[in-house]
Amino acid sequence: MESSKTLTFFTPKASLGNGAILVDAGISAGFPSPADDFRETRISLDDELIQNKDATFFAKVKGQSMIDAGLDDNDLLVIDRSIEPANNKIAVCFLDGEFTVKRLRVEKNEVWLQPENPNYPIINITEENDFVIWGIVTNVIKKV
């Protein structure tokens, strides 16, 4: 299991602005489209990424155990504690005194925490573990 430095938590702050400008033209990854084809509106990332503000937190990923799921070191996770945990969801869990982020594998009465990196072991949750599913990852924000 990774160290307790796997996640650094943040809470959303109240937004004071009207959001950033959204260029609603579809950004081409091939040939550019004429600039006058877009219309300008405002968008708030809080409105786009957060469904339940009272139950949403942010955390930064520390480590490499979820890189094949697209979660890289220092990515910012959006975590919603109001979403019901389910098989195949990516969850932030509190396990034996440490926070970790893994994919949930639930079959019958058994739960596993599945890393998305073959260099890390699958964790089988037993009755001996101090285990809580803390929240479900809904989005990831990356720097480029």
Tell me, yes or no, if 102 is annotated catalytic.
yes
Q: Is 21 helix (H, G, I), strand (E, B) or coil?
A: strand
Structure tokens at 112: 């596993």
Is residue 123 helix, strand or coil? strand
Read off the amino acid at residue 142. K
Q: Catalytic pick from 44, 60, 65, 82?
A: 65
3 is an active site residue = no
Catalytic site residue from 4, 5, 15, 102? 102
- Residue 113's region, left for phi above 0, alpha for psi from -120 to 50, else beta, is beta
Q: Among all residues, which ones are annotated catalytic?
A: 65, 102
